Amino acid sequence: MTTDIQETLDWQGQEIDCGACAHEALRSEDKCEPRKACVQDRYARRIDRFFDQNPSLADGYLAHPYFELRAVAAKHATVFRLPPLLKDSEETVRWSAVRRLPYRYLLELRTDPHREVRIRIALTLNDDDLPSMMYDPDYYVRTVVARRISPKHLTSMMHDSEAAVRRVVVSRVEERFLMQMANDAEPSVRLEAARRLTPRQLVLLRRDPDWRVRFHVASNIEGEALAAMLDDSDPVVRQLVYARLARPDNGAVTEDEATEILNAESPKDEMLERTS
């Protein structure tokens, strides 16, 4: 049965005819081989092997109609021939070309029409050049920027329209901005902010609308502030508060420890009597 590995088809799906190939003479020099190293093949790996052995031929294929062939040729071609490929219609070709060019050419692709190219650019740029991509139309590009950019620039992204981006921002932003982000409209962002706050700051979040945030608060605050959460509207949060107050040491606990506390038998009735 014919498989992809056994096929010898060109980019248009036609059987490859070595006798009609302009490079037929290379076979006798072991510089090309059907199913392994062939510039006519539609598989990029076989094209790549061909240019590995014949790099001087790559320049002649930079304008070939098959985009995979242009992209692979760009990996081997003369560098001075590559700048025009930054305007190629295929994103694979543009990225293949810019990877070999000096850094300044990366800046030209910050507004590339294809998100995958912009993602790769955002993963590559120096910190000083990342701010120009903070407002990219694609949320994932902005997420990459938020992960890499210096924290001093993150204040400009604190109000990004996507919660996924703001979650990254709040995990890295300078501590003095955490309370501001703890008031975010999205509960998951507030929770990320809460995880970085001190117990004293967390007291201010004990009435947060989301039970997950309050659960984190109840895991970390102590004393009277913790006791003030005995009337929490969520039974899981109340149970954690009861259980922690019943322990001899009611110091802060991790989220995993809080879960273990909930799974253990908690003297809720006794705590109710003590607080009535």
Q: 110-197: which CATH number, 1.25.10.10, 3.40.640.10, 3.30.230.10, 1.10.3720.10?
A: 1.25.10.10
Range with lowest mean pLDDT among 9-13, 81-85, 132-136 = 9-13
Range with lowest mean pLDDT among 82-96, 212-226, 229-243, 254-268 = 254-268
DSSP run (H or E) holding 124: helix 115-124
Strand partners, 37: 33
What are the percentages of helix, strand and coil residues in the chain, rounded to 5? 60, 0, 35
Neighbours of 142 (CB within 10 A): 26
Q: At 43, list the tokens.
A: 């598989």
pLDDT above 90 for 156: yes
Residue 8 pLDDT: 85
pLDDT above 90 for 125: yes
pLDDT above 90 for 70: yes
Residue 250 pLDDT: 65
Q: How far is CA 161 from CA 164, 185, 209, in A?
A: 9, 11, 21
- Domain residue limits, the chain: 1-101, 110-197, 198-276
pLDDT above 60 for 265: no
Query: Is the separation of the CB atoms in 37 and 46 below 8 Å?
Result: yes
69-82 mean pLDDT: 98
Query: Is the separation of the CB atoms in 35 and 4 below 8 Å?
Result: no
Concatenate the DSSP letters of all residues of 197-266 into one string.
S-HHHHGGGTT-SSHHHHHHHHHH--HHHHHTTTT-SSHHHHHHHHHHHHSS------HHHHHHHHHS--
Q: Do domains 1-101 and 110-197 have the same CATH topology?
A: yes
Q: How far is CA 263 from CA 198, 229, 239, 271, in A?
A: 26, 19, 10, 17
Q: Largest Cα–Cα distance in the chain?
A: 96
pLDDT above 50 for 209: yes
CATH number for the segment(s) 1-101? 1.25.10.10
d(CA 276, CA 273): 5
Residue 248 pLDDT: 77
Range with lowest mean pLDDT among 74-83, 94-103, 264-273 = 264-273
- Tell me the whole-structure pTM to 2 decimals: 0.83
3-state secondary structure of 95: helix
**What are 105-122's pLDDT values in tens digits?**
999 999 999 999 999 999
The pLDDT confidence band at residue 252, using thresholds 50, 70 and 90, is confident
DSSP run (H or E) holding 271: helix 268-275
The pLDDT confidence band at residue 271, using thresholds 50, 70 and 90, is very low
DSSP class of residue 68 equals H
Query: Rounded to the nearest 10 degrees, what angle do helices 211-220 and 235-246 cross at?
Result: 10
